[in-house]
Amino acid sequence: MNRRGFLRSAAIAAGALIFGRTQSAIAASPKKIVKASKFPVGSNQKFVAANGSPAFLFRTKSGVFAYSAICTHQGCTVDYFKAGKKLVCPCHGASFDPFNAGKVVSGEANFPLAKINVAIKSGWVVQS
């Protein structure tokens, strides 16, 4: 191999090494949502999921859980109504129970809200 070929191979190898590290660092880094100390049992909040879509996070005695805020009927954004403890869609009125796997309670939707995997790690609620 001549000098030019050697330099080209070395550059490709270095790029693959750097790119590989970057990709595994991204894949291994969970998205931080909120500090666990700022999100006590009984809390809920909106957040932006890793895919950029709106979502809701909840914390109960049993842990943290989250759902996409995209209605499974036609894609409007649901909102949480604390009094009824339901996620309700403003478009056609579907409601979902966040404390029962996001199941449909009433309305036009046929499927539960999509679950988002979250956990508490190193003092943060993260999307895993």
Interaction site with ligand FES (CB under 6 A):
71, 73-76, 89, 91-94, 107-109
In terms of Cα–Cα distance, which of 34, 27, 29, 46 is closest to 98? 46
For the bound state, the minimum distance from the C-beta of residue 47 to ligand FES, rounded and expressed in Å, comes to 20
The torsion angles phi and psi of 70, rounded to 5 degrees, stand at -90, 115
DSSP conformation class of 21: H
Minimum CB separation of residue 77 from ligand FES in Å reads 9
CB of 75 to ligand FES, least distance (A): 6
Note whether 67 and 49 are within 8 A (CB).
no
Residue among 49 and 104 whose Cβ is closer to ligand FES = 104
Closer to ligand FES at the Cβ: 34 or 79? 79
Smallest distance from ligand FES to CB 118, Å: 23
Q: Which is nearer to ligand FES, 35 or 115 (CB)?
A: 115
What burial class does residue 87 get, using C-beta atoms within 10 Å of its C-beta: 0-12 exposed, 13-18 middle, 19+ buried? buried
Nearer to ligand FES, 31 or 103 (CB): 103
Tokens of 39: 């999100």
